[in-house]
């Protein structure tokens, strides 16, 4: 599939997206950097989509359906937490390596700043997925903390500003 930036788009996730989202999050290749994250049950994908829909209703912003040529190829954006935004993206492997994740980070960061500018924007990734960290940095976030994990890898935290100690503890507790 050509991944021409002129064909990229975002829209709020809607209830009808569950099957398309599940096709992405249940694909083991999507989780190559985090094998334990793969969704096995469509109910879990449904819950993810319902949470996104609720975010849009409550805060006017939440995760988007990421589109290429009108095909849903991932989900990404910010999820409201307690006075901070959790930024994340999960894209189908066939669109990796074209700058799409960086673009999602850039757009999400701008939208978060317009919606609740006093809330920090925070992203977490594994040290086994350096492309995720690069997308965060290229999209406008900076690395603010690296937390070693018992398995020898690390959690890398990126944010749009320095984080207070309590918020950093909260972020790290999410895994």
- pLDDT > 90? residue 1: no
Domain 5-173 is found in CATH 1.20.58.760: no
pLDDT per residue as tens digits for the range 43-57: 999 999 999 999 999
Give percent above pLDDT 90 in the chain: 91
Domain boundaries, the chain: 5-173
To the nearest whole number, what is the mean pLDDT of the chain?
Answer: 95
Write the DSSP string, the chain: ----GGGEEEEE--GGGHHHHHHHHT-GGGGTT-GGG----HHHHHHHHHHHHHHHHHHS--PEEEEETTEEEEEEEEEE-SSSEEEEEEE-GGGTTSSHHHHHHHHHHHHHHHH-TTS-EEEEEETT-HHHHHHHHHTT-EEEEEEE-TTS-EEEEEESS---HHHHHHHHHT-
- pLDDT > 70? residue 2: no
Two tokens, residue 144: 């603010």
Whole-structure pTM value: 0.94
Give 34's pLDDT tier (boundaries 50, 70, 90): confident
Give 35's pLDDT tier (boundaries 50, 70, 90): confident
pLDDT per residue as tens digits for the range 99-145: 999 999 999 999 999 999 999 999 999 999 999 999 999 999 999 99
- pLDDT > 70? residue 165: yes
- Radius of gyration in angstroms for the set of CA atoms belonging to the chain, rounded to a whole number: 15
């Amino acid at each position: 599939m050509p991944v021409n930036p002129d064909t990229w788009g975002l829209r709020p996730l809607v209830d009808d997206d569950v099957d398309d989202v599940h096709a992405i999050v249940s694909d083991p290749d999507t989780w190559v950097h985090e094998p334990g994250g793969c969704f096995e049950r469509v109910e879990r994908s449904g819950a993810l989509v319902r949470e996104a829909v609720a975010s849009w209703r409550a805060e006017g912003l939440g995760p988007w359906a990421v589109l290429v040529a009108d095909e849903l190829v991932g989900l990404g954006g910010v999820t409201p937490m307690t006075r901070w935004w959790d930024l994340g993206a999960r894209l189908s492997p066939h669109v990796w390596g074209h700058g799409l994740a960086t673009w999602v980070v850039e757009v999400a960061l701008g939208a978060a700043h317009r919606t609740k500018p006093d809330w920090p924007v925070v992203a977490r990734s594994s040290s086994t997925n350096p492309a995720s960290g690069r997308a965060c940095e290229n999209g406008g976030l900076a690395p603010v903390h690296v937390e070693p994990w018992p398995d020898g890898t690390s959690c890398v935290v990126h944010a749009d500003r320095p984080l207070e100690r309590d918020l950093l503890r909260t972020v790290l507790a999410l895994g």
